[in-house]
Structure 1
């Protein structure tokens, strides 16, 4: 079954998250697009439009280096598109989570471990651009693969030290 134009736009969005340049985000993301998954990312990633999506992509790339998205299924119904995929990579940098108010919450120092996480991304496409994005992810499975859970006493110490450093740097 061929992928619809809306499906192609959704898949292209996922591809640029992995390795796209800022100009590609400007071309593909609606100026008022909303990423509904921006609730734990850095405050800059919560902006509407291409700027917020770009900042979120940079946040993920900094923590996980080269990220790969293996597309398994694409289903479109008009302007709504669902993309099932496996995101894989290796944690090469610190991964920080933020509170709703934008304060630093949790910090996971690099473990150097690889991961592969099943995800489904949902998009609303409008006028040939991404207008909204949602996702369901296996965050628990990813955390276990990365060695974040169950946390060892040594890793808890590393988390506290990384959070202290991140606070001083901001």
Structure 2
């Protein structure tokens, strides 16, 4: 019996969907199987310094960073379009803000911290994933960060949220665990 290999576009599509899934629930080993050793995340400039490297370690660090701030995190895949080695994944990112969300500047220093609000959110995102040798080698995205900020109560800031965020930033600077 001759088993046919999936078409290359189906392989790229499947890998792209799996790459989104593991951000919310994947183990470190899952990242090894999905992310190329030379992979780069073009969105990591506001993330912790350890996310700015290459390969599975950096991608897994991004997942850990997101999971520290958001429980019930998931990426509901709405559409996937594949052209050659490039997949575009249209998702709805969902979660609940239960931990400090720490944003970094280009030098890797803590820039802003949003104290936990306990609120849930659902925002549209498009993730662009380039594949090489059967693994994701490049990622970049367009996200509705303002929509997320409004849903989580970060925008517009209130006097109370500004105080809470300042205390959270102070705590994060004393204990940089991300």
| Runs (5+) with no aligned partner, structure 1 | none
Q: Give 1:19's aligned residue.
A: 25
| Alignment match, 2:130 | 124
* RMSD, aligned α-carbons: 1.0
State the structure with more CA Rg: 2
Give yes or no for the alignment of 1:115 onto 2:121: yes
Residue 112 of structure 2 is aligned to residue 94 of structure 1:
no
Deviations for 1:28-47, whole angstroms, at most 9, x for unmatched residues? 10001000010100001111
Per the alignment, residue 141 of structure 1 pairs with 147
1: CA distance, partners of 2:167 / 2:75: 31
Displacement of 1:52:
0.3
Number of residues paired by the alignment? 169
How far does residue 66 in structure 1 lie from its aligned partner after superposition?
Answer: 2.1
Structure 1 runs of 4+ aligned residues shifted over 2 Å read none
2 CA distance for matches of 1:56 and 1:66? 16
User: Taking structure 2 as the reference length, what is the TM-score of the superposition?
Assistant: 0.93
Aligned-residue offset at 1:79: 0.1
Q: Helix, strand or coil: the match of 1:67?
A: strand
Superposition map of 1:44-63 within 5 A:
44-63=50-69
Deviation at 1:169, TM superposition (A): 1.2
Q: Distance in 2 between matches of 1:163 and 1:20?
A: 28
